[in-house]
Amino acid sequence: MQEFNRNKLKIKPLAERFSKLNTSIIISPSSEPPQISQEALLQLKDIAACMQKARRLNSPIIVVCGAHLVKNGLSKILIELMNKKYIQHILSNGAFSIHDWEFSY
């Protein structure tokens, strides 16, 4: 296997880096929900019912997710769920944090 040659990297200042991210995709908790399939709606309602039950029982809710949650504009939804005490912890990968930073930057 050939070793990765770091000398071939073309490192540019962050200001010169083109970003595909656009903050216009960030979804507001107060916005109208998008159209989804009946099957997805039933799954979402089931998740919501489980979260409501956990909250009533004072059980913690831990969300385990990949970076696409943030990449697809759902960060404000997560924040709203945390503020309303529905989510106590988020477990994710490094790309989740990177995308969150990119939107903030």
The pLDDT tens digits of the residues spanning 40-80 come to 999 999 999 999 999 999 999 999 999 999 999 999 999 99
Confidence of residue 23 (pLDDT cuts 50, 70, 90): confident
Structure tokens at 66: 């990949």
- What are the two backbone dihedrals, phi and then psi, of residue 29, each rounded to the nearest 5 degrees? -60, -25
Is residue 20 predicted with pLDDT exceeding 80?
Answer: no
Tell me what pLDDT residue 14 has.
80
Is residue 24 predicted with pLDDT exceeding 80?
Answer: yes
Beta-strand ranges (E) seen in the chain are 62-64, 89-91
- Residues 69 and 48: their CA atoms lie apart, in Å, by 17
Query: In the chain, what percentage of residues exceed pLDDT 70?
Result: 100
